[in-house]
Chains A and B, each alone.
Chain A
Amino acid sequence: MSDRVGPSGLTDAQSEEIHRHLIQGTQIFAMIAVLAHLLAYIYSPWLK
């Protein structure tokens, strides 16, 4: 099943692997962004 090749030339397994890394990268980016926003809010709270 995972040997099936799609229009992009990738197999299901390769696609799932790339997607896993992309999701992980997005989660790390989000964590850094949340931390940055927390620090910015501590520095200068907005909408008060």
Chain B
Amino acid sequence: MIYGKLWTVVKPTVGIPIFIAAVAIASFSVHLALTLNTTWVKAFLNGKAATAAVVVHMPIDSA
């Protein structure tokens, strides 16, 4: 298996917690950003009905 001998160099007691922590921090950051920047995550957590993404129509020449 590719990289299978990694743990002969890195102690698993050090490397695996770092690996899991990196995944957890990255995942938490993305979900926090979604919660802070969208309406539908907050709506879902508050038990609201599904809210689809709102499409804002803007004429091309209005900018």
Which residues of A pack against B, CB within 8 Å? 4-12, 14-16, 18-20, 22-23, 29, 43-48
Contacts and interface: CB of A to CB of B under 8 A. Distances in A.
State the main secondary structure of chain A at its contact with B: mixed
A10 B12 contact: yes
B32 interface: no
Given A43-B44, A44-B50, 11 more contacts: A6-B9, A8-B9, A15-B7, A16-B4, A19-B1, A19-B3, A20-B1, A29-B23, A44-B51, A46-B38, A48-B53
A8 B10 contact: yes
Question: How many B residues touch the partner, as a band?
Answer: 20 to 34
Contacts of A15: 4-8
17 contacts: A6-B5, A6-B9, A7-B8, A7-B9, A8-B8, A11-B8, A12-B4, A12-B8, A14-B8, A18-B7, A19-B1, A19-B7, A20-B1, A22-B16, A23-B1, A44-B51, A45-B52
